Amino acid sequence: MEFSEYFTIWDQLTPGQQETLSKSCVSRAVKGGATLHGNGTDCTGLLLVRAGQLRAFILSREGREVTLYRLFERDLCLFSASCLLRSIQFDVTVTAEKDTELWVIPADVYRQIMEQSAALANYTNEIMASRFSEVMWLVEQVMWNSMDRRVAVFLLEEAAIEDTGLLHITHERIANHLGTHREVVTRMLRYFQREGMVRLSRGTVELTDRAKLEALRGA
Amino acid sequence: MEFSEYFTIWDQLTPGQQETLSKSCVSRAVKGGATLHGNGTDCTGLLLVRAGQLRAFILSREGREVTLYRLFERDLCLFSASCLLRSIQFDVTVTAEKDTELWVIPADVYRQIMEQSAALANYTNEIMASRFSEVMWLVEQVMWNSMDRRVAVFLLEEAAIEDTGLLHITHERIANHLGTHREVVTRMLRYFQREGMVRLSRGTVELTDRAKLEALRGA
């Protein structure tokens, strides 16, 4: 079964634990744009990405969004299973940013194995520390960085993920990643265009001077 | 030895693990204001609070601060031992807010036991999830709440921790908790005073209308 190749610490589980996991996980394929977890759903389960791209974000009461982190191939999403740990006291929404294949692992199955297996518990620790580090990066961005730097950082990161300087993305979606309003993003992008850093057209942002964007990021 | 009474999952460790921990941990007493971890120190170790109060915060390059969380009796600080987990990729500073007694547990000793003990690894997971939840609360505060609400929330929280409506705290220190400038806090507190919610004098803020502050918090 292919699941074993994607589950990083498979070899450190006992045959019994491997069998329990294999039998209980469910394979799913979802279209880009689909919501996998959120809107008050309790415990969707852990999500192991086989191919594609997921996005985890939080929502304000007014419907504003801010991206916490992205998940790629072999990444495991813990926070779609907040019932896994008593101390997870916050809600995230998880959507597919691209067509995505994944496995869903029921939280109670995972927890039962984790209680017995130091290997799985330590692996879970590393994942949580990794997500924690991403959220701390966000805190530092929001606390200490101005919006022009945050937009520059976002554009450069998107270009790296998509491996292209021509981004198919709306101003609204950029605002939802950064937790701000569309108007703020539009104003900033127009300023970037006047400075020769990007070229804007309907539904796209093209990076035309990465060195200048990188200088802004590093400033 | 008293350490065992403060270390929550002591009874779930083997006698050998208990002995290793007891022998390696070091008891310390520090004055309020002392820095326990920070300024590029690598791995101070895990801090278990016996009595007193610690504060964990991050620093900007310009020296601005923002509080991440507080630690009280029986709380264990993981992030003063960032070498504990490879994936902890951020730095916190930890200071004593009051005279504090604590034990320092060397990170390598803790990690060795954690690698063997599912109980300790799962306990560590719960602690990390708990701190993660506090930082997510901070993210939501910073992203979605206006500064007047954040100041109201802070004053009410301080009053609860100190169990008094008369807070001995400077505007500068409030600014350092919230990651903003002293001037912003002073302006906000003067507005609160005009509205009858607080009374200001040198070095103190007295809460004079909690119901009004709570209404502002809940707004």
Cα of B126 to nearest chain A Cα, Å: 6
Of the candidates B85, B125, B179, the beta carbon closest to that of A121 is on B125
Cα A17 from Cα A156, distance rounded (Å): 42
- Do residues A75 and A125 make contact, with C-beta atoms less than 8 angstroms apart? no
Query: What is the per-residue pLDDT for A63?
Result: 84
Q: Do A135 and B130 touch (CB under 8 A)?
A: no
Chain A residues close to B62, C-beta within 8 Å? 144
Distance of CA B198 to the CA centre of its chain: 25
Note whether B124 contacts A129, CB cutoff 8 Å: no
Chain A residue with minimal CA distance to B88? A129
Pairing state between β A166-168 and A204-207 = antiparallel
Predicted ipTM of the assembly: 0.87
pLDDT in tens, A129-173: 999 999 999 999 888 888 999 999 999 999 999 999 999 999 999
Average pLDDT across chain B, whole number: 94
Q: Measured over all CA atoms, what is the biggest interatomic distance in chain B, rounded to whole angstroms?
A: 62
Set of chain B residues whose Cβ sits within 8 Å of the Cβ of A89? 130, 133, 136
Residue A12 φ/ψ, nearest 5 degrees:
-95, 0
pLDDT tens by residue, A40-59: 777 899 999 999 999 999 99
- DSSP letter assigned to residue A63: S
Is the pLDDT assigned to residue A72 strictly greater than 60? yes
Which tens digit of pLDDT belongs to each residue from A86-127? 899 888 999 999 999 999 999 999 999 999 999 999 999 999
pLDDT for position B1: 56
pLDDT of B64 above 90: no
Q: What is the pLDDT of residue B218?
A: 84
At A42 the pLDDT is 75
Give the per-residue pLDDT at B41: 77
The secondary structure of chain B in percent helix, strand, coil, rounded to multiples of 5, reads 45, 25, 30
Inter-chain CB proximity A133 and B60 less than 8 Å: no
Mean pLDDT within B17-38: 96
A132 contacts chain B (CB < 8 A): yes
Tell me, what's the pLDDT at A121? 97
- Report the residue from A62, A90, A144 with minimal CB separation from B136: A90
> Do the Cβ atoms of A136 and B66 come within 8 Å?
no
Select from A66, A128, A140 the residue whose CB has the most chain B CBs within 10 Å, as the one to mutate to test that interface: A128
According to the model, what pLDDT value does residue B219 have? Answer: 67
Counting Cα atoms < 13 Å in the Cβ hemisphere of B42 gives 7
Q: CA of B106, closest CA in chain A: separation in Å?
A: 18
Of B89, B117, B137, Cβ closest to residue A118: B117
Q: Give the tens place of pLDDT for each residue, B101-118.
A: 999 999 999 999 999 999
Query: Please, what sign has the CA dihedral across residues A124, A130, A131, A135?
Result: positive
**Residue A72 contacts by C-beta under 8 Å, 6 or more apart in sequence?**
A49, A53
For B179-190, the pLDDT digits (tens) are 998 999 999 999
Of A124, A126, A139, Cβ closest to residue B138: A139
**Comparison of pLDDT for A13 and B217, the residue scoring more:** A13
Q: pTM of the entire structure? A: 0.88
CB-defined contacts A:B, below 8 A: 124
Taking only the tens place, the pLDDT of each residue in A166-176 is: 999 999 999 99
Contact list, B85 vs chain A (CB under 8 Å): 125-126, 129
| Distance, CA of B96 to CA of B107 (rounded, Å) | 20
- How far apart CA B62 and CA B102 sit, in angstroms, is 30
B129 min Cα distance to partner chain A (Å): 5
Cβ <8 Å between A136 and B87: no
Give the mean model confidence (pLDDT) for residues A8-12.
96
